[in-house]
Chains A and B, each alone.
Chain A
Amino acid sequence: MAIKPMNRRAFLRGVGTIGIALPTLEIMLEEKAFAQATGPRRFGIFFCGQSLGADNDRRNFFVPPNAGLNYTTSVGLTPLQTRNVKSDVSVVSGLYIPTGLGAGMRGPDFHPFSYWPMLNGTSNWTGTPQSEGSVIGEGADQIIGRTFGTGTKFATINYQGQPHFYGNGDFNGRDVISFKKNSNGSISRVVNQVSPQAAFISLFGTFTPLGGGPVDPKVQAELVKRRSILDSILNDRDKLLRQLGSSDQQRLTQHLDEIRDLEKRIVASTPSSANSACIKPKDPGADPAKDLSARYSNEKARNLIFMDLIHMAFACDLTRAATMMLTTAQCHMSAKSIDSAFAGVDSGCEPHEIGHNARGAPQQAPTGTPVSITNPNIAASDRNSYVMSLIHAWHVDQFAYLVQKMKATPDGTKTLLDNSALILCFEGGHGRLLNTATDSDKLIGTHSTENMAMLVAGRAGGLMPGKHIIKTGIHPAQVTISAMKAVGYSGSSLGQVQGDVPELFKA
């Protein structure tokens, strides 16, 4: 008996119209979902390693109190106004990653993996504590990169501003924002580049933009040399893999695949699709020093360099998909140096601790607090959410920095921002801790994936930015899907999550 091919759309219709779909099977994938969009569009995911509110404090200084185009700018969103990009960015709030074993749901432990489903639309566990951190879905940036970036040097670029965990132990998954499908079909966590200098060398070390004058013969010779070295190594592939066990072979194959990718990037010619703003940026020089004892390695400087590189990588069409962790999940970076309001605190005052008890943080709103939040003169017992939003503002400012640059960069008859969809997302929301029926709704905390919010910047694919959209209870991956669709993705799901946010495309 012949097996009738499965129609995924029909199958999903059958399971109802809720946002959560069933697990994706290979047979379900629609090739046409990956149809190439017209013209280069850029896709970016940016991440703040902090939730949106604080423990035991119902007030929220990040999510605007009202919806629509004329929403009130909150403390956390103030930089959108300062950098004059409020009309270029939408806010989607009320998002929710359920806890449980269903599709797109997260495991019970908040750190370190609970945010993963919004980036790949798949559940991050299989029911046991040991299974938390499972990866079964490809990341949104990877899908966009391999679909629309085939002609670019880099399918994706993946950066991270915070180079140290600063807490006990290692990152252990808190530094992951992207998930890559390997040549054998398995999915693995993507390791981010933490060195701005290395990122510069990788993107622009031997790069000469078209029309940027004749290529330096030394640069040309170096490219030939690099290629001959990599060729020589790759020619050894069979000999290296011979007589190895399967796990050893897999490990070495991944290494050789990465070398092959590096060689492809060297061979790739300077893209003719680069826009007129494409120039080789200035070498940022040595990275800011990593300072473990101060728990601050000048993340702001690092982030802005990375933003500059992403901006120019987009302009030069070196890539069409980027991710950037401004800070990592459960952020233990000291807040001491990030805002003048924190100047007097000790290095133990950090975003994660502020979310819990505002340890060592200033007790009152600093001078200059926007009128809309007229100095709340917050009491020590409930100052946390306000202080936290100063940290949010620090992140939003850096995101807005890139938005501002892209808005000022011509791209054909439009701007780079007009042809882009950029997301800023956060580790968690502000609500019940486990989002379960047994979870007391009297408790409100930072370890929650209720009431999450995301920022969406750009106008690619008809995005209509500048408003606050309240979408209570939808999965944040639906916002990710919207951004993917904006850059040409014709599918309707990401991993196990289906549906987008139509309001992002409406006036």
Chain B
Amino acid sequence: MRRLWGKNLIFLGVMATAVIVAFQNCSKGFEVLPDNAALNLSSLSSSNSQEKVKRLSNSEINNSLNYILGDTTAPATKSLPANAMAPFDNDVLSQQVSTPLIEGIEQLAIDVSKRLLADTTRRNQVLGCVGASVNDRICMTSIVNKFSLLFFRRQQPATDLAAWIDLGLSQAAANQNFYDGVDTVLRLFIMHPRFTYRIESDSDINLSYARAERLAFLIWGSTPDSALLSLAAQDLLKTAEQVKAKASDMLKKSNALQRVQQFHAEWLSYERLGHATNVAASLKSEADAMVEKVLFTDQRPWTDIFSMNQTYIDNTVAEIYGLPSLRAPTWTGFPSSRRGILSTGAFLSAGAKFGDTSPTQRGKFIRERLLCQRIPPPPPSVDADVPPPPSTEMSGPDCKKKRYLSHSVQGSSCIGCHAQMDPIGFGLEQYDVVGRFRSFEKLSDGSDNTSCPIDGAGSLLEVGAFNGPADLTTRLISSGTLHSCMMKQYFHFVFGRTVSVADDGLISSTANQLQTGARFSDVILSIVGSQQFLNP
């Protein structure tokens, strides 16, 4: 034990020295970007302008079609190319136009309309009228008026409405089927860029519609509902107070919870876990439940998701955490070594490489996602894709920590960046790729390699030495660094773009709110009442 502790002191000493040198080196050779710098590569090649044209993400299309037409099949997930996660699915600079996208949108429109029209009950309920004849102009007019508003989120010019009514009726007449005309109109609306894009034109005659659209996609990740559009039609979203009152009301809907769960899952990278299906689902359910409890059920300070000592687990997660088996999912106390969402298997799944945890990748992930810093890519001469030798070939001196020391040789080009990452990852090293506790490295047959104990000692320059996720969480919260980054990430999600200097004031004020115990709803109301939101 004494020998182990001695080794740790040596390791931490070397790393601590390295960290100090690191910032000197990194600030010269490999610059750590300032806090408000872009977080994704795409932004490096583009200005951080306020884009006014944003394509709906696949999840936003799914949610919108669910609300407008009652289509619950998540058709965009099936038919459209997957969104790039940068790290959010709505990052405007990561959106690519392509042939598969356009063909996919057309096929989606065909499928969605066909499903609706084939289900007479849903069709009549959704459309709101029944075509009495092939040339039922009244019903077609009603359909065009209703759905052009729902799909395009704004009142449309009379000339356009008339053209679409004529198109629907002419198609109905051509095929002697009223619903063939309806099919044409619905497909047109689904395919139209006025639906698939949020286009904030300066020619918007009524700012309330633009605000309704922003509110709906921020809070629900979906299109404005009829009530919201009605407010917009009456121009009742003119003042900040009106907007905040409506936002407060919108938070009571269940899709508000789903939206903020999506934010956490994309931010902390557990939206698409690469584990076995049941393990991935169980881990995500646990994290989702924590978000729900803190933000909605108990309405506690938002940052309590990091400090809560309870969690919601099923038998799969119980087995991972070494807890007694369960018959049904339940809330239970965390083991003392765990605390908050950074202790969950969902979060600890991040940063795996070559089938094992990577202290480097975990450290990089924490710097990027929790501290909003960006570690530059390795220098060209470094091949970061070469896996370590199989563990069967490892002996005591080649334990992981010893091997990683080679990153920190004074004078080497590696030290600059690795010293900012590896010590963080080693502080979480006692938790494997699904968050299971371990005391030893594993041999290739899965048994403990007793020559290689894992001590879990790590450090992060901004918070000092720590051991394990609970300790890291405590220190991150008390340092205050987490709050600012959390808001930057949320702003990226809210606006679908990386944050800019213009956002600094609002980020700072909402981060201060978080530090003083603000709830999620408090933050939302601050954002929607801000000038950035009202008049971007």
Count of chain B residues near A, Cβ 8 A: 69
B274 near A252 with CB under 8 A, answer no
Q: Report how far A55 CA is from B388 CA in the complex, Å.
A: 13
Interface presence of B162 (CB below 8 A): no
Q: Quick one: which of B46, B99, B164, B171 contacts A193, CB cutoff 8 A?
A: B99
A232 near B188 with CB under 8 A, answer yes
Q: Quick one: which of B100, B191, B203 contacts A198, CB cutoff 8 A?
A: B100
Q: Quick one: which of A172, A192, A244 contacts B53, CB cutoff 8 A?
A: A244
B100 near A226 with CB under 8 A, answer no
A108 near B100 with CB under 8 A, answer no
B387 near A225 with CB under 8 A, answer no
Residues of A within 8 A of B100 (CB): 191-195, 198
Interface presence of A405 (CB below 8 A): no
A356 near B51 with CB under 8 A, answer no
Q: Report how far A224 CA is from B277 CA in the complex, Å.
A: 44
**Binary flags per residue of B340-361, CB closer than 8 Å to A gives 1, else 0:** 0000000000011111000001
Name the residue of chain B whose CB is nearest to the CB of A55: B386
A254 near B276 with CB under 8 A, answer no
Q: Quick one: which of B102, B175, B385 contacts A330, CB cutoff 8 A?
A: B385
Q: Which 5 A-B pairs have the closest CB atoms?
A: A108-B380, A191-B98, A248-B53, A258-B102, A254-B97
Question: A197 → chain B, closest Cβ, in Å?
Answer: 9
Interface presence of A31 (CB below 8 A): no
Interface presence of B101 (CB below 8 A): yes
Give residues of chain B (376-405) contacting chain A, Cβ–Cβ below 8 Å: 376-377, 379-381, 383, 385-387, 389-390
Asked, given contacts A255-B97, A357-B389, whether A434 binds B380 with beta carbons under 8 Å apart, the answer is yes
Of B7-15, B103-111, B291-299, B450-458, the one with at least 4 CB within 8 A of chain A: B103-111
Q: Report how far A172 CA is from B84 CA in the complex, Å.
A: 9
Interface presence of A26 (CB below 8 A): no
Interface presence of B199 (CB below 8 A): yes
Q: Quick one: which of A256, A352, A433 contacts B193, CB cutoff 8 A?
A: A256
Question: A418 → chain B, closest Cβ, in Å?
Answer: 29
A433 near B52 with CB under 8 A, answer no
Residues of A within 8 A of B201 (CB): 242-244
Residues of A within 8 A of B385 (CB): 110-111, 330, 352, 356, 447
Q: Quick one: which of A198, A228, A292 contacts B167, CB cutoff 8 A?
A: A228
Interface presence of B81 (CB below 8 A): yes
Give residues of chain A (312-335) contacting chain B, Cβ–Cβ below 8 Å: 330
Q: Report how far A229 CA is from B109 CA in the complex, Å.
A: 11
Q: Report how far A434 CA is from B107 CA in the complex, Å.
A: 45
B97 near A232 with CB under 8 A, answer no
B107 near A293 with CB under 8 A, answer no
Residues of A within 8 A of B175 (CB): 221
B104 near A229 with CB under 8 A, answer no
Asked, given contacts A130-B44, A193-B100, A243-B202, whether A109 binds B377 with beta carbons under 8 Å apart, the answer is yes
**Binary flags per residue of B72-110, CB closer than 8 Å to A gives 1, else 0:** 000000010100110000000001111111111011000
Interface presence of A33 (CB below 8 A): no
Question: B260 → chain A, closest Cβ, in Å?
Answer: 23
A233 near B274 with CB under 8 A, answer no
Give residues of chain A (170-187) contacting chain B, Cβ–Cβ below 8 Å: 170, 172
B192 near A251 with CB under 8 A, answer no
Residues of B within 8 A of A233 (CB): 188, 191-193
Give residues of chain A (223-258) contacting chain B, Cβ–Cβ below 8 Å: 224-226, 228-230, 232-233, 236, 240, 242-245, 247-248, 251-252, 254-256, 258
Question: B336 → chain A, closest Cβ, in Å?
Answer: 31
Residues of A within 8 A of B106 (CB): 226, 262
Residues of B within 8 A of A189 (CB): 96
